[in-house]
Amino acid sequence: MEEELPPPQSDLSSPNPSSSIDTTLQKKHQAMLDRLSNRHQSRQKTATTPTTIDSTASFLFKFTESKRSIESLLNNSPNTPDPTLLKSHLANISSSISSLEKLVAESSYFLPPYELRSSLKCIENLKQSLENLNSQLLPKKKFSFKNKSTNPIIEDCGGVRFAPYCLRYVGIEEDLTEAGLEEENESWGNVDDFKWLRAVKSPNWSVLEESERIGCVEIEGSGSIETEVEIEKV
């Protein structure tokens, strides 16, 4: 019998297709990394190009000139009580600050971080100065409520009698004017009775007869009180 020969062994030195594919992928990956690295380096170079430097210098010049102009307006307000002129002056300053803020916004893409932060901080300071000036030149009016003479009011009362007060002391006219009570409107004799809703006068009150009224009370500087007539003791 003829002896069977074993099957031929594969040649170990022959190229491996899988190994070839891995090598190709590695080359492509490395090429991609090289492109990204070159792009990053190119951006860094662009950030420091002479064009960018010139743009920043031009911005700083315009910003400084505008800032000086606004500060001059803030420090040289018109000396006039006319609110129309003052409002116009303040509006002019506000418009200038808005234009300066717009300049910073349009230049922010090429400005270095420090210059951008410094410019924005400067604008905030100018706005605060304008707000302070506005409060100084056009202060908000404080509301004051003057006392208004109203009708006397009674409720759950009976047999009440009314008469005008009669008080004198030095300076009473000024005090009444300041309180808004300088005009006598006879309101003391128009009493409102909350328990009487009819159209006719309430029977729960009446006007004190003049013969029964006391004299005028005078308060002197010492604080003593004197009456022109003697009050009858009850």
Q: What is the domain-level CATH number for residue 218?
A: 2.160.20.70
Counts of helices then strands in the chain (DSSP H, E): 5, 7
Give the separation between CA 33 and CA 39, rounded to whole angstroms: 10
172 and 103 housed in the same domain: no
Q: What is the pLDDT of residues 214-229, one digit of tens each?
A: 777 787 754 444 444 4
141-171 burial, b at 16+ Cβ within 10 Å, e below that, comes to eeeeeeeeeeeeebeeeeeeeeeeeeeeeee
123 and 163 housed in the same domain: no
3-state SS assignment for residue 13: coil
Q: Which amino acid is at 119?
A: S
Q: What is the pLDDT of residues 171-229, one digit of tens each?
A: 778 877 777 666 666 777 788 888 777 777 888 888 888 888 877 778 775 444 444 44
**Is 14 or 124 the better-scoring residue by pLDDT?**
124
Give the separation between CA 231 and CA 215, rounded to whole angstroms: 8
pLDDT score of 196: 78
Beta carbons of 126 and 97 less than 8 angstroms apart: yes
Angle subtended by helix axes 50-75 and 113-137, to nearest 10: 10
125 and 174 housed in the same domain: no
Q: Which residues contact 56 (CB under 8 A, 6 or more apart)?
A: 110, 111, 112, 115
Residue 144: inside a domain, yes or no? no
54 and 103 housed in the same domain: yes
For residue 166, what pLDDT band results from cuts at 50, 70 and 90?
confident
